[in-house]
Structure 1
Amino acid sequence: MRFFTPQPGQVRAVEVATEVGAEVRRVSRGETPLVFLPYLDEFRQLPAAAVIAKSPGDTVPELLTVADCVSGYVIASGVDREAAVTRCEEIDKDIRLLTD
Structure 2
Amino acid sequence: MQRQTWLKVTMLVVAFVLVLSLLSPGYAKAADFTFNINIVRQSDGSTCGELWLKDGLLWRVAILPDGARPVSRGTATSNTTLIIPDIIKGMFVIKFE
- TM class, shorter-length: under 0.3
| TM score, norm. by length of structure 2 | 0.26
Bigger helix fraction: 2
TM-score normalized by the length of structure 1 = 0.26
The structure that is strand-richer by fraction is 2
Structure (1 or 2) with the larger CA radius of gyration:
2
